[in-house]
Structure 1
Amino acid sequence: MSLLNNVFYFQNGIGVLANVFLLLFYIFIILCHRPKPMDLISCQLTFSHTVMLLTGGVVWVTDIFESLHVDNDIKCKTSFYINRVMRGLSICITCLLSMFQAVTISPSTSFLANFKLKLKKNIIYAFFYICSLNLSLYSYLIFYVGGLTNVSETNQMKVTKSCSLLPTNYIIRALNLTVTTSIDIFLVGVMLVTSAYIVLILFRHQRQHKHLHSLSHPRSSPEKKATQTILLLVTFFVVMYWVDFIISSTAVLLWMYNPVIQSVQKFVLNVYPTVTPLVQISSDNRIIKILKNIRSKYHQIL
Structure 2
Amino acid sequence: MSPLEIILGVVFCSQTAIGVLGNSFLVFLFTFMFLTAHKLRPIDTILIQLAWANSLMLLFKGVPQTMAALSLKNFLDDTGCKTVFYLLRVARALSLSMTCFLSGFQAIAISPSTSRYIKLKNRTQKSIIPCSVLCWISHLILNSIILLTIKGTRTTRNISNLLDYGFCSTSTTSTITVALSSVVASLPDVTCVGLMVFASGYMMLLLKRHQKRVQHIHTSSLSPRASPEIRATRSIQLLVNTFVFFYLLNSVLVLYMHFKNPRPWLLHSSNFLAGCFPNICPFVLI
| TM-score exceeds 0.5 | yes
Counterpart Cα distance in 1 of 2:51 and 2:247: 18
Counterpart Cα distance in 2 of 1:147 and 1:239: 31
Query: How does the TM-score come out when normalised to structure 2?
Result: 0.85
Q: Determine the structure 1 residue equivalent to 2:108.
A: 103
Assess if the C-alpha contact under 8 Å between 1:77 and 1:142 holds in 2.
yes
Matched, 1:12 2:16: yes
Runs of 4 or more, structure 1, over 4 Å off, are: 59-63, 211-216, 221-228
Q: Determine the structure 1 residue equivalent to 2:247.
A: 241
> Displacement of 1:266 after TM fit?
1.2
Match of 2:85 among 80, 89, 108: 80
2:102 maps to a residue whose letter is: L
Q: Determine the structure 1 residue equivalent to 2:51.
A: 46
> Displacement of 1:112 after TM fit?
3.9
Answer with 206-215 or 241-250: which moved more.
206-215
SS at match of 1:146: strand
Counterpart Cα distance in 1 of 2:183 and 2:117: 31
2:242 maps to a residue whose letter is: F
Assess if the C-alpha contact under 8 Å between 1:156 and 1:165 holds in 2.
yes
> Displacement of 1:234 after TM fit?
1.6
SS at match of 1:75: helix
Answer with 173-182 or 259-268: which moved more.
173-182
> Displacement of 1:269 after TM fit?
0.7
Structure 1: gaps (5+ residues)? 64-69, 282-302
> Displacement of 1:232 after TM fit?
2.1
Assess if the C-alpha contact under 8 Å between 2:8 and 2:66 holds in 1.
no
Answer with 178-187 or 119-128: which moved more.
178-187
Counterpart Cα distance in 2 of 1:141 and 1:130: 18
> Displacement of 1:122 after TM fit?
0.8
Compared with structure 1, are the counterparts of its residues 40 and 262 closer, same or farther at alpha carbon in structure 2 (3 Å cutoff)?
same
Answer with 73-82 or 149-158: which moved more.
149-158
Matched, 1:194 2:211: no
Structure 2: gaps (5+ residues)? 69-74, 222-226
SS at match of 2:169: strand
1:42-191 matches, within 5 Å, as 42-58=47-63, 72-109=77-114, 111-148=116-153, 149-160=155-166, 162-191=167-196
> Displacement of 1:271 after TM fit?
0.6
> Displacement of 1:256 after TM fit?
2.3
- Number of matched residues? 269
Assess if the C-alpha contact under 8 Å between 2:62 and 2:275 holds in 1.
no
SS at match of 2:151: strand
Counterpart Cα distance in 2 of 1:273 and 1:158: 23
1:29-40 matches, within 5 Å, as 29-32=33-36, 33-40=38-45
Assess if the C-alpha contact under 8 Å between 2:12 and 2:66 holds in 1.
no
Answer with 87-96 or 23-32: which moved more.
23-32
Cα RMSD over matched residues? 2.6
Compared with structure 1, are the counterparts of its residues 196 and 73 closer, same or farther at alpha carbon in structure 2 (3 Å cutoff)?
same
The percentage of aligned residue pairs carrying the same residue is: 36
Assess if the C-alpha contact under 8 Å between 1:4 and 1:264 holds in 2.
no
Counterpart Cα distance in 1 of 2:89 and 2:156: 24
> Displacement of 1:110 after TM fit?
7.9
**In the TM superposition, what whole-angstrom CA distance separates every residue of 1:200-248 from its partner, at most 9, and x where no partner exists?**
11110111112577768xxxx8787566434421221011110111001
Answer with 102-111 or 91-100: which moved more.
102-111
> Displacement of 1:4 after TM fit?
3.4
Compared with structure 1, are the counterparts of its residues 107 and 11 closer, same or farther at alpha carbon in structure 2 (3 Å cutoff)?
same
Counterpart Cα distance in 2 of 1:159 and 1:71: 12
1:238 maps to a residue whose letter is: V
1:194-273 matches, within 5 Å, as 194-210=199-215, 228-252=234-258, 254=259, 256-273=261-278
